[in-house]
C-alpha cells in the first residue's frame, strides 16, 4: 500500500511539474509583457495565437515607453478595440471566421487574447485566474501603501509594505528596488565610505556624497539610468546606441598628486608651471593605465569592502553628461587649465578640459557591450581615455569623444578619477 501511495504522489508531482513547465515556457515566450499582464498571457498561452507566432507586439507594437514606465502611465502604441480587432484577425482569416464566415466582430465568439468562447464558465470562473487577480489587487494596494509611507519618511513601515507586496508578486522589479531603497535609508552606512551630509537619492536610497575611509577622497553618487551613448560627430563614437548604467560612485575630483603620493609614496607628475596652484592640489599626471591598477590594488587592500576601480567609458560618459543629458550641454567654456574647478549637475569637477582620464575599457568598436570582454583587466590592447586635456582643441571637449593609448605609457596630461560600484548586497 505504501508503495502504491508513493507512486500516486510521484505521478501527481510529475503532472504538476509538467504543467508548471508549460506555464513557465509560455511566460518566458511572452517576455517583458508577462511581468504585468499575467491573465492576458495565460489566455494567450491557451490560444492558437501562440502556435501561430502572434505575440503581444504583433497587435500592440513594441511599445518601449509603456514597457519602461511599468505603471501604465504610458499606453501601448496600439490598443485595438471592436472592429479594429476584427481587422487584425483578417490577417490570418481573410475570408472571415472558418465556422461562421463572419468578418464584422470576432469578439462575439472569441476573447481578444484567447481564441476560445468567452461565455464558457471555465473562462469566467477559472479559480487559478481568480487567485492571480486577487493577488495582484493585494499587491497594488500594498505598493500604494508603501509609497505613502515613503512620503512620510516611515522607512520601516514602507519596508514591511513592500516586503508583503513582494510576497504577492515576487518577481516585481519596481517593488524590489523600492524595498532595497527603504532598507538603505534604515541603514545608510557603506563599508569603506564615510557618509557626508544628509542628502540621499530618492530612487536608490544611497547617500549622494561620501568620503573614502581613511583617505579623505570625496566621491559623489552617479544615479543609474539609460542614455544614448556616442555621437555622429566622431567616426569612433558611431553608432549612437542605448546603454544602461547602474548606480555607482565617482570621484568628485581627479585624483590629486597628494592623494597619489600618500598611497604610492612618490609623485610621478611633471613639475608645475609658473603660476599654477600648489602641486599637491593638482591632478596627478604622467601615469599609465598599469600605474592606475597598482594604486587601485593598494587602495583595495586597505579599505573595507574594496571594489575601487576606474570607471568604464560608458559610466564616464554618462556622468559627464550629468546623468544622461546631451553632449553639447556638458562642453566646458574657455578658458581651461589643469585642475579646473567647473562642476556639472552631479557635483563632479573638471571632467573635461583638465587632464585626460583613464577608463577601465579596452578601445573597441561600438556598440558598447560590457560583457564582450572589453572590461577584462588582463586582456591586451589599447585602453580608452576620456575628457580631453587642458591643452586640447575644443572638439576633444565632448563627452562622446574617445582617445586611446597603450596601457604602459606615461604621458603628460594623463590622469585618473576613482570609481566604485555600490558595495555588494546593499
Sequence ranges of the domains in the chain: 31-71+79-125, 135-186, 193-270+277-421
Name which of 326, 331, 354, 329 is nearest 251 in CA terms: 354
* Cβ(163)–Cβ(172) below 8 Å: no
Task: Tell me the pLDDT of the chain (426 aa) as tens digits.
Answer: 444 444 444 444 444 444 445 445 666 676 777 667 766 777 767 677 777 778 888 788 887 877 776 556 677 877 777 667 777 777 777 777 777 777 666 766 776 666 555 555 444 445 667 788 888 899 999 999 999 999 999 999 999 999 999 999 988 989 999 999 999 999 999 999 999 999 999 999 999 999 999 888 999 999 999 999 999 999 999 999 999 999 999 999 999 999 999 999 999 998 877 666 677 889 999 999 999 999 999 999 988 888 999 999 999 999 999 866 666 556 555 545 666 667 999 999 999 889 999 999 999 999 999 999 999 999 999 999 999 888 888 888 899 999 999 999 999 999 999 999 998 766
Using a cut of 0.75, tell me whether the model's pTM lies above it: no
pLDDT at 330: 61
Question: Could you tell me the three cell numbers for 251?
Answer: 570621484
Question: Under 8 Å CB-to-CB from 57, ≥6 apart: which residues?
Answer: 63
* pLDDT score, position 335: 44
- Predicted confidence at residue 233, as pLDDT, reads 92
Report pLDDT for 252. 96
Pinpoint the alpha helices (H) of 101-154.
121-124, 127-151
According to DSSP, the β-strands at 383-386 and 403-405 are antiparallel
Phi first, then psi, for residue 114 (nearest 5°) are -120, 130
Q: pLDDT value at position 11? A: 44
- The whole-number pLDDT of residue 119 equals 53
The per-residue pLDDT for 357 is 97
Angle at 101 between CA 97 and CA 102, to 5 degrees: 80
* DSSP codes joined into one string, 264-284: HSS--SPPPPTT---GGGSBP
Residues 6+ away with beta carbon under 8 Å from 28: 34
- For CA atoms 410, 416, 418, 419, give the dihedral sign: negative
Q: How far apart are CA 142 and CA 140, in angstroms?
A: 6
* 231-240 LR contacts (CB < 8 Å, sep 24+): 231/327, 231/398, 231/400, 231/401, 233/395, 233/398, 233/400, 234/398, 234/400, 234/401, 234/402, 236/365, 236/366, 236/402, 237/366, 237/400, 237/401, 237/402, 238/366, 239/366, 239/367
Burial 236-249 (b: 16+ CB within 10 A, else e): ebeeeeebebeebb
Cα–Cα distance list, 368 to 241, 296, 321 (Å): 8, 24, 17
Which pLDDT value is given to residue 6? Answer: 47
CATH number of 193-270+277-421: 3.90.1580.10
Amino acid at each position: 500500500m505504501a508503495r502504491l501511495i508513493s507512486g500516486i504522489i510521484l505521478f501527481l508531482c510529475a503532472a504538476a511539474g509538467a504543467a508548471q513547465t508549460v506555464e513557465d515556457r509560455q511566460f518566458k515566450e511572452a517576455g517583458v509583457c508577462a511581468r504585468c499582464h499575467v491573465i492576458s498571457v495565460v489566455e494567450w498561452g491557451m490560444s492558437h495565437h501562440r502556435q501561430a507566432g502572434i505575440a503581444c507586439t504583433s497587435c500592440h507594437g513594441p511599445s518601449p515607453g509603456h514597457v519602461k514606465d511599468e505603471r501604465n502611465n504610458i499606453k501601448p502604441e496600439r490598443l485595438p478595440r471592436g472592429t479594429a480587432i476584427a481587422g487584425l484577425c483578417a490577417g490570418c482569416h481573410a475570408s472571415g471566421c472558418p465556422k461562421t464566415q463572419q468578418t464584422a466582430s470576432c469578439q462575439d465568439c472569441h476573447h481578444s487574447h484567447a481564441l476560445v468562447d468567452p461565455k464558457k464558465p471555465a473562462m469566467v470562473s477559472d479559480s487559478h485566474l481568480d487567485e492571480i487577480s486577487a493577488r495582484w489587487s493585494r499587491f497594488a494596494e500594498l505598493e500604494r501603501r508603501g509609497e505613502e509611507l515613503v512620503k512620510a519618511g516611515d522607512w520601516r513601515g514602507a519596508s514591511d509594505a513592500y516586503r508583503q507586496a513582494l510576497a504577492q508578486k515576487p518577481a516585481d522589479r519596481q517593488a524590489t528596488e523600492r524595498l532595497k531603497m527603504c532598507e538603505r535609508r534604515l541603514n545608510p552606512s557603506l563599508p569603506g565610505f564615510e557618509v557626508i551630509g544628509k542628502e540621499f537619492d530618492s530612487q536608490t536610497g544611497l547617500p549622494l556624497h561620501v568620503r573614502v575611509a581613511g583617505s579623505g577622497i570625496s566621491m559623489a553618487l552617479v544615479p543609474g539610468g539609460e542614455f544614448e551613448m556616442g555621437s555622429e560627430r566622431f567616426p569612433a563614437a558611431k553608432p549612437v546606441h542605448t546603454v544602461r548604467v547602474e548606480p555607482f560612485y565617482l570621484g568628485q575630483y581627479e585624483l590629486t598628486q597628494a592623494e597619489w603620493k600618500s598611497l604610492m609614496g612618490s609623485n610621478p607628475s611633471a613639475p608645475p608651471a609658473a603660476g599654477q596652484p600648489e602641486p599637491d592640489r593638482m591632478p596627478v599626471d604622467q601615469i599609465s593605465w598599469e600605474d592606475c591598477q597598482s594604486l587601485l590594488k593598494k587602495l583595495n587592500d586597505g579599505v573595507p569592502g574594496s571594489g575601487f576601480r576606474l570607471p568604464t567609458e560608458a559610466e564616464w560618459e554618462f556622468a559627464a553628461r550629468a546623468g544622461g543629458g546631451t553632449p553639447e550641454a556638458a562642453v566646458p567654456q574657455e578658458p581651461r587649465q589643469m585642475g579646473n574647478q567647473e562642476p556639472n549637475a552631479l557635483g563632479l569637477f573638471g571632467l573635461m578640459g583638465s587632464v585626460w582620464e583613464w577608463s577601465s575599457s579596452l578601445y573597441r568598436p561600438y556598440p558598447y557591450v560590457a560583457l564582450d570582454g572589453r572590461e577584462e583587466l588582463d586582456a591586451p590592447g589599447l585602453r580608452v581615455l576620456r575628457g580631453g586635456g587642458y591643452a586640447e582643441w575644443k572638439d576633444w571637449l565632448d563627452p562622446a569623444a574617445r582617445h586611446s593609448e597603450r596601457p604602459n605609457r606615461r604621458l603628460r596630461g594623463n590622469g585618473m578619477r576613482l570609481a566604485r560600484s555600490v558595495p555588494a548586497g546593499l
